[in-house]
Amino acid sequence: MLQVKTIGLLGGMSWESTELYYRLINENAKKVLGGLHSAPIAMVSVDFQEIEELQHVGDWEELARILARKAMQVESAGADFLLICTNTMHKVAGEVSDAIDIPLLHIADATADRIASDGVSTVGLLGTRFTMEQEFYKGRLAENGLDVLVPSQADREIVHRVIYEELCLGMVNDESRREFLRIIDQLAESGAEAVIEGCTEIGLLVNDDHTDVGLYDTTRIHAERAVTFSLERRNEQ
**Residue 86 falls in the annotated catalytic set:** yes
**Residue 199 falls in the annotated catalytic set:** yes
* Dist CA 14 CA 84 (whole Å): 11
* Dist CA 59 CA 173 (whole Å): 30
Contact 8, 43 (CB under 8 A): yes
Q: How many CB atoms lie under 10 A from the CB of residue 142?
A: 14
Point out the catalytic residue in the list 18, 85, 86, 219.
86
Give the count of alpha carbons within 13 A of 12, CB side only.
Answer: 15
Point out the catalytic residue in the list 199, 200, 218, 219.
199
Task: Evaluate the CA torsion angle 205, 129, 122, 189 in order and state its sign.
Answer: positive
Quick one: three-class SS letters along 108-149? HHHHHHHHHHCCCCEEEEECCHHHHHCHHHHHHHHHCCCEEE
Could you give the residue numbers annotated as active site? Answer: 86, 199
